[in-house]
Structure 1
Amino acid sequence: MSAEADAQHQAQLFIQEVWGLQGTAYLIVALRYYSKITTVGVHNFAWDDALMFLAVLVYTAESVMAYLVVAYWKGLANNAMTDEQRASLDPASEEYYLRVSGSKTHVVGLLLYTTLLWLLKACWLVYYARLTNGVNNDKLRRKIQWGIIIMSVTYIACLLVAFLKCIPFDHQWQINPSPGNHCMPAISTIQTIFVMVMNTLTDFYLMAIPLPVVWESHLPLKKKLALLVMFSGGVLEMVFGILRCVSILTKGDIDPAQSGYWSVRESFVSVVTTNLPVVYPLFKGLIDKGRSASRSKATNTTDSRGYRLNSVQGRGTTSKKDPFSVPNETTWGSKEQIVVDTGANSSGEEGSLDLPKQQARALYGDTKTTAAVTVTGSPDGSGRSRHSMSGNKIVVTTEYTVRDSTVGPSTSHRRNDF
């Protein structure tokens, strides 16, 4: 395969990647809005939802710029040329036109890339501010306030570097004479490194807001680990940002389109990780429904006393609500099944909680409640079961109903709903 055919093949692969990532990002954002609509309604949309819509528009424009660089300008820009090649290139030639157009597209693409990343950082800050609204934590609020200042200053600094690194500005698409590395937008060292450093430092700061709160929370270990992973998405963004920087600085003169390649990839990762906290409860709800259905099926075939527990405070938990718990969940979020045996001949594997029937009514209500209680009687000496208030026992299962066992003419128990 010739070099030109290989380049065309690589270009086609990248074009497919660009639109594949674009479609996936659209799907993730659509799921975000679907989750918000089904949980809080359109009227309760927040500023981070508006910022995300703006970010999607910028991301689309960035992808279009990357597509133009590869599909129309053949990856060419005002770099990767010797002085002799610059001097001999005819300004009326197609290559000259492609190089100038490619350089201009790189300038626009880099501005869109930077704007997108900082829009997504703003989404994180607004999201944190919304989660901590009403939480009595001055230190946390100060972190968010400082975050707003830091993100604004670093974004302005990145724009200043983009506009002031090459003066006059139109030298960024100059062909002859060579404008210098700082005026080559596809491989500009100062801009590439500066944006990467600012992006990495701000991502570290954003992660420093929720992670200490989650780590010190009283959430169950499994949920705590899930939140730590979810709020650590900045690590993945930093990895892609560093890969982008290294790729541009090492391969930029060989393949100027490297800037477009890695900018689109990093932007995609940033969009996904920023939407993850809002989309996560949607997937978790689907998983929980599947588990609930399978448990209910298993319970119906083995034990008629098994029900679903959604929100009962478990042993060892506290009443403090953690500000960074997953949205759309209950305070405790218990999804596990607790079954307590009520039979007189318990094997000891399951325990029971003694409680008078009137107290059961007072705690859990007369019909459907958030805890399931089953009241049974104990058999008398004649082999017939009889109702005894002092012998009543509460059985807690995953889904809670209040039931009373009455004494029948035989030793078998019969249950009636209150």
Structure 2
Amino acid sequence: MEESAAEILVLWILTGLAVAMMLLRLGLKQYRSQRSSLGDYITIAAIVSILLRGAVINVALLWGTNNISQAVRKTMTFTPEVIYRREIGSRLTIVNRVFYTVYSWLQKGVVMCILQRLLKGVGPKWITKFYWITLAVTFVAALIVTFTECHPFKRYWQVVPDPGTCSKGIIQLEVFSALSMVTDAMLIALPLPHLMKIQRPFMERLRLLALFLVGLTILGVTMARLLMNVVLFHRSGQSHNVANIEIFFAAFVANAPTIYGLLNVEGRRGAAGAQYLPDSYSGSGSKSIGGIRSNVSRKDRGLDSGNYQSGHNLQNHVWAGKSRYAPDSDEEMMI
């Protein structure tokens, strides 16, 4: 019972931190009076899914599951109440795996939204389409394998007799981990060449690079969880704790770039601030900003340049107003 209490404490601390980070992102977007973007709606869905995941796994940790070692089975008395509770816990474990998969891929979708905006106009369009299709296909594959390991299906929650190893979801974890690591590596690799080329001070480029390379921590955590379960051949309490760590880092990687951009924009003022204008203020044509019309066009080199050409200097008070009341989603403000 003490072990379960410790696992539940870790569960809600790390889940709470992940939710707090996502709420910070959404709150900053509202504070800056920016339009909600697809990434924001995906973030809301991620919050719902991870809270539901926490609720179901909480019950499973309290009531137990059919994941019982042979040594414990020999000494355990399987009363009707014990069997009932462990059957419910086992069913909820399956639901937990579904919500965990949904949450993980939703966070990948948030990252993809950021990359799609940052790389707009850079490289062929089929690359981002290919990435979205890859995320969709791997998500479906990860969900399908959740329900295909036990035959007959009731063995997923069968307590007595011993259902064997299928209910432990070893194959599901291996497939999930492999697909998750491949997609994470793809998302890390996509922006790196362009981040290295943008014309910014070295330390600023280093900070941007670090934001994306934090994704490597997810690869490490996922690998650790996979190896832990392969070696132990069951989902232990330590495995649950590692999964909770993975939840937090997924939220951090998906939301840190946007939070960084939203917090960092306050100090960007004056004519130099024109280079941080979002795409809605670039292009040929004029925009009225704070009552002053200014022709702003971006060089055709996309993120490779980062420079803007302006027919008139944007005054400090113009950018000061824009910094808080931007009408558009400004993930690219970080660049």
Residue 55 of structure 2 aligns with an amino acid whose one-letter code is V
How far does the alpha carbon of each residue in 1:229-269 deviate from its partner, in whole angstroms, 9 at most, with x for none?
1112321111111222233334465x744443222221121
Unaligned runs of 5+ in 2: 276-297, 319-335
* Aligned counterpart for 1:144 among listed residues 123, 128, 131: 128
Sort the Cα spacing of 1:324 and 1:197 in 2 relative to 1 into closer, same or farther, 3 A: farther
Flag the structure with higher helix content.
2
Unaligned runs of 5+ in 1: 1-6, 293-307, 333-361, 371-418
> Aligned equivalents of 2:312 and 2:45: distance in 1?
49
* Structure with more contact order per residue of length (Cα contacts < 8 Å, sep ≥ 6): 2
Q: CA deviation at 1:198?
A: 0.6
Equivalent residue, structure 2, for 1:299: none
Equivalent residue, structure 1, for 2:20: 27
- The answer on 1:11 being equivalent to 2:11 is no
- The answer on 1:267 being equivalent to 2:247 is yes
Sort the Cα spacing of 1:310 and 1:194 in 2 relative to 1 into closer, same or farther, 3 A: same
- The answer on 1:226 being equivalent to 2:217 is no
> Aligned equivalents of 1:59 and 1:368: distance in 2?
42
- The answer on 1:82 being equivalent to 2:70 is yes
Aligned residues: 294
Residue 103 of structure 2 aligns with an amino acid whose one-letter code is L
Equivalent residue, structure 2, for 1:179: 163
* Identity value in percent: 23
Sort the Cα spacing of 1:24 and 1:161 in 2 relative to 1 into closer, same or farther, 3 A: same
* Aligned counterpart for 1:61 among listed residues 46, 52, 62: 52
> Aligned equivalents of 1:165 and 1:31: distance in 2?
39
Q: CA deviation at 1:53?
A: 0.3
Q: CA deviation at 1:83?
A: 9.1
> Aligned equivalents of 1:257 and 1:144: distance in 2?
38
Residue 16 of structure 2 aligns with an amino acid whose one-letter code is G
Sort the Cα spacing of 1:283 and 1:13 in 2 relative to 1 into closer, same or farther, 3 A: farther
Sort the Cα spacing of 1:228 and 1:177 in 2 relative to 1 into closer, same or farther, 3 A: same
Structure index of larger Rg: 1
> Aligned equivalents of 2:163 and 2:37: distance in 1?
46
User: SS at 2:65's partner residue?
Assistant: coil
Task: Tell me how large the CA RMSD over aligned residues is.
Answer: 3.3
Q: CA deviation at 1:12?
A: 2.9
Q: CA deviation at 1:320?
A: 6.7
Sort the Cα spacing of 1:248 and 1:321 in 2 relative to 1 into closer, same or farther, 3 A: same
> Aligned equivalents of 2:164 and 2:304: distance in 1?
48
> Aligned equivalents of 1:363 and 1:263: distance in 2?
53
Alpha carbons 1:83, 1:177 under 8 Å: kept? no
Q: CA deviation at 1:123?
A: 1.5
Q: CA deviation at 1:277?
A: 0.8
User: SS at 2:228's partner residue?
Assistant: helix
How far does the alpha carbon of each residue in 1:362-390 deviate from its partner, in whole angstroms, 9 at most, with x for none?
9879x9799xxxxxxxxxxxxxxxxxxxx
- The answer on 1:211 being equivalent to 2:192 is yes
Sort the Cα spacing of 1:64 and 1:265 in 2 relative to 1 into closer, same or farther, 3 A: farther
Q: CA deviation at 1:278?
A: 0.7
Q: CA deviation at 1:311?
A: 4.1
> Aligned equivalents of 2:55 and 2:317: distance in 1?
54
> Aligned equivalents of 1:211 and 1:218: distance in 2?
14
Residue 66 of structure 2 aligns with an amino acid whose one-letter code is N
> Aligned equivalents of 1:65 and 1:283: distance in 2?
35
Equivalent residue, structure 2, for 1:106: 93
Sort the Cα spacing of 1:84 and 1:245 in 2 relative to 1 into closer, same or farther, 3 A: closer
Q: CA deviation at 1:49?
A: 0.7
Alpha carbons 2:28, 2:262 under 8 Å: kept? yes
Equivalent residue, structure 1, for 2:294: none
The TM-score with structure 2 as length reference comes to 0.76
Q: CA deviation at 1:86?
A: 7.2
> Aligned equivalents of 1:84 and 1:13: distance in 2?
20
The TM-score with structure 1 as length reference comes to 0.62
